[in-house]
Structure 1
Amino acid sequence: MTKQHFDKSRFISAEQAAEQLGVSRATLYAYVSRGLLRAHPVEGDSRRHCYARDDVAELAGKRRRGRKPVDIAKSTLDWGMPVLESGITLICDGQLYYRGKRAVELSERASLEEVASLLWDLPDFGRFDISGPVLPDGWSQLKNHYAKVPVIEALLPLFAIVSEDGETGIWQQDETRLAAGAARLLAALFACVTGQDADHHPLHMQLARAWGLDAVGADLVRRALVLCADHELNASSFTARCVASTEASLRMAIIGGLAALSGGLHGGMTERIETAWQAVDSRDMTQYMRRQLAAGAEFPGFGHPLYPAGDVRAKALLTLIRPEFHVADDIAETMTLLTGKAPGIDFALVAMRRYLGLPEGAAFCVFALGRAVGWIAHALEQRRQGQLIRPRAVYVGRDPG
């Protein structure tokens, strides 16, 4: 992106742009992340951006013209202007930020616990070890029963059985107790995946032990968990916020998030990718995929509206996988060659699962475990805002008679 001299006749500052649009700075950045407005870096100051006066004026006009309820409803729920404000995650200029810090850079060094501490904004959270509940009597039989069920369907009921509302109800105002309760919920979800009582080791190490990984594999899982921690108002996080806005507990918000994540257009995409991967013939991949595309069956997991130049989360993981795992590289290169679309995080998680030899369903588990941190963050933020999320519908049915 070309850097601009701050010409006051053509450009205005972020503060001025937000004021002209009648929105907060966070909403202004959300407009940029969704491609509704372009931000120009200011020459000589990489931390500042300016905005073309004409672009801001045009967007302001669109907002004024779109104040009718029908226009608002249509524009907010389908990749349009944000339906609410959040200070948790920003997607801007092809980068992902957790509270102003680049997620990819955090993934190079941070644990999921450290990212949870950042996103939850609970001052006392860092004092707690994330140790889970003692697993209930009959746990072995319960796990054996759900072992016959795909993990994408089993994780929610297991979590509902193992977890407790505890100290995370709307009545809990003590942030020390709230932090401890949130930590226990996260540990309970990990226990559902590992099948073991949680201990005081870092969460990625608990997974590594359950899955028999060495230090290199454990570090790759750690990175994936951090990169999955949040992604703005995706379907599952929005669901978690809706649940929290009714004054339900954090546990219920996670259950809502798990339900939304299971769909094939969200975390369930990993299962669609697994199925497509099994059908790929690497000896004639280009021809096979060309035939699939001609038949209307595109390989899933490629292209993301918020990352026109490619999903930075997927790039960060695939870079560590590609040197020794050529199949993932071949699929990605072929799809990009044929469609121009780059792999997304779902594809990278499946590639990681296959590269490390993890159990079937592990890609979905890593997605859910990491994203649970984001669900809790969004639920806490929505609770602090104290407002019920209640969009209006655009009625298109039969006129009242």
Structure 2
Amino acid sequence: MLDQEPGPDASGRRLSTRQAADLLGVKPETVYAYVSRGRLSSRRVPGTRGSTFDADEIEALARSNRRESHTGGGVGGAEDRGAAPAVRTGVTLIEDDRFYFRGVDAVELAARHSYEEVAEWLWTGRMRAGVAFDAPRASVEAARRAVGALPEHTGPADRLRVATIACAVTDPLRFDLSEDAVLGTARTLIPTLVAALPPKVPTHRDGASLAQRLWGRLSWRPAAESPVHVLDAALALLVDHDLAASTLAVRVAASARAHPYAAVSAGLGVVEGHLHGAAGGLVHRLLLDVLDRGSAGPVIAEELRAGRRVPGLGHRLYRGEDPRARALFALLADVPAAAPALAAARDVERTAARHAPLHANVDLALAVLTASCGMEPSASETVFAIARTAGWIAHAQEEYGERPLRMRPSGHYVGPRPPRPLP
């Protein structure tokens, strides 16, 4: 029993957990999830384990949930009419060309905190200064064996997906979907994925940050402070971005109560698309071509002549420059080795602006980092996938608190009408 039934306070406007859950049409556990995500406030009842909730808050949340359901937030409604579903989330807000993690400006957060600290903020709404993620030896060994058996040409998403599956089979408690268990999985899975990638330079060092460990898997050059700082900021900025395609896949998996490893694997399957996580590799090659030719003009001309969209430019969620790109460009300006690639990126942006008023997105900024720091074109895909794993876990955790299988739209059948004769 989660709590005892407290009576109403003197105003008559306090509800017990059970009463609040009944009014919202959710489980009592979900009521507490709303509290942890800041959507509700609660007050403990002295002498009991129970909490009470403001009735007006509960009624307002119930009305909001009903409105979202009518606009496609659940099964039926607008979903059945072909509209895109709306999914309640307290993780990321994108508004007026800025984005926020749990209400805090994400760019400012990434400027002041490490990737691990930002991930903890995303998961718990609490800042744990100096937090570090450690990988269990058993899961690292299993993941390295699995990744080591893959062909040399295997791409980053495949390596990470295989490593994720290897981690899952070493965890007999993976089906525990309680909050503590899910967060425990997150804190060990992410460093295991990094450790499973083949190293290019020695990286093991006591107290090394995740960005320092990842650097040795991406670049042939020794880690230097300023570029590693840019990598750490990139991880923090890329940790989540509302309901991107991979995040939606994760939430669908979590809605079916797939364990966190399976949910992350669903996200990794989508990341491989060239319109999502693999886009940075296209920009990397574009920048190398611009650097080789000395000007963006002929390179952009060939892209347009072939009918291709110029990669690294434009984002449908921002009218101006992607704030993630702006933040990374500012940091890259302090990395001397990045100066030529940074100039090439600005040349691409200026040249393409004659054709269409598009601004730089985060893929262009990531490509400056990868192209100037001895990394392969696929490195940005690795950075994206590692970073976004934390966001996927946050969304999976959120989805576990919702009604199971709610993300089940109805198909709009357009085939031949039955009955038809047997073929």
Normalised TM-score (structure 2): 0.70
Partner of 1:393: 411
Moved more, 371-380 or 387-396: 387-396
Q: Which residue identity is paired with 1:399?
A: R
**How far apart are residue 83 of structure 1 and its match?**
2.0
In the alignment, is the contact (CA less than 8 A) between 2:281 and 2:377 conserved in 1?
no
Between the aligned partners of 2:231 and 2:111, the Cα distance in structure 1 is 11
In the alignment, is the contact (CA less than 8 A) between 1:165 and 1:250 conserved in 2?
no
2:286 matches 1:286: no
2:210 matches 1:203: yes
Q: Map residues 230-379 of structure 1 onto 2, 5 A cutoff.
A: 230-280=240-290, 282-322=293-333, 324-325=339-340, 326-379=343-396
Between the aligned partners of 2:193 and 2:151, the Cα distance in structure 1 is 15
Between the aligned partners of 1:123 and 1:200, the Cα distance in structure 2 is 22
2:202 matches 1:192: no
2:184 is matched with which residue: 180, 185, 198?
A: 180
Partner of 2:108: 105
TM-aligned CA distance change 1:216 to 1:290, over 3 Å:
same
**How far apart are residue 245 of structure 1 and its match?**
0.9
Moved more, 126-135 or 201-210: 126-135
**How far apart are residue 144 of structure 1 and its match?**
6.8
Between the aligned partners of 2:281 and 2:212, the Cα distance in structure 1 is 25
In the alignment, is the contact (CA less than 8 A) between 1:240 and 1:375 conserved in 2?
yes
1:147 is matched with which residue: 152, 158, 166?
A: 152
Moved more, 118-127 or 260-269: 118-127
TM-aligned CA distance change 1:74 to 1:114, over 3 Å:
farther
Between the aligned partners of 2:78 and 2:344, the Cα distance in structure 1 is 46
Q: Which residue identity is paired with 2:313?
A: F
In the alignment, is the contact (CA less than 8 A) between 1:95 and 1:102 conserved in 2?
yes
Q: Which residue identity is paired with 2:195?
A: A
Q: Which residue identity is paired with 2:396?
A: A
Deviation per residue, 1:134-176 (Å, 9 max, x gap): 2327947943744332324332123322444737645343x44
In the alignment, is the contact (CA less than 8 A) between 1:321 and 1:355 conserved in 2?
no
Moved more, 339-348 or 189-198: 189-198
Q: Which residue identity is paired with 1:207?
A: L
Between the aligned partners of 1:138 and 1:383, the Cα distance in structure 2 is 26
In the alignment, is the contact (CA less than 8 A) between 1:131 and 1:198 conserved in 2?
no
**How far apart are residue 95 of structure 1 and its match?**
0.4
Q: Which residue identity is paired with 1:400?
A: P
Partner of 2:92: 89
Q: Which residue identity is paired with 2:284?
A: E
In the alignment, is the contact (CA less than 8 A) between 1:236 and 1:258 conserved in 2?
yes
Report the 3-state secondary structure (helix = DSSP H, G, I; strand = E; otherwise coil) of the residue aligned with 1:301.
Answer: coil
Partner of 1:45: none
2:132 matches 1:115: no
Extract unaligned runs of 5+ from structure 2.
1-66
In the alignment, is the contact (CA less than 8 A) between 1:191 and 1:197 conserved in 2?
no
**How far apart are residue 300 of structure 1 and its match?**
1.4
Deviation per residue, 1:241-261 (Å, 9 max, x gap): 111111111111111111111
Q: Which has the larger radius of gyration?
A: 2
TM-aligned CA distance change 1:76 to 1:374, over 3 Å:
farther
Between the aligned partners of 2:128 and 2:332, the Cα distance in structure 1 is 33
Extract unaligned runs of 5+ from structure 1.
1-59
TM-aligned CA distance change 1:235 to 1:109, over 3 Å:
same
2:398 matches 1:381: yes
**How far apart are residue 200 of structure 1 and its match?**
4.5
1:161 is matched with which residue: 149, 152, 166?
A: 166
In the alignment, is the contact (CA less than 8 A) between 1:89 and 1:99 conserved in 2?
yes
Overall identity of the aligned pairs, in %: 28
Report the 3-state secondary structure (helix = DSSP H, G, I; strand = E; otherwise coil) of the residue aligned with 1:96.
Answer: strand
In the alignment, is the contact (CA less than 8 A) between 1:88 and 1:99 conserved in 2?
yes
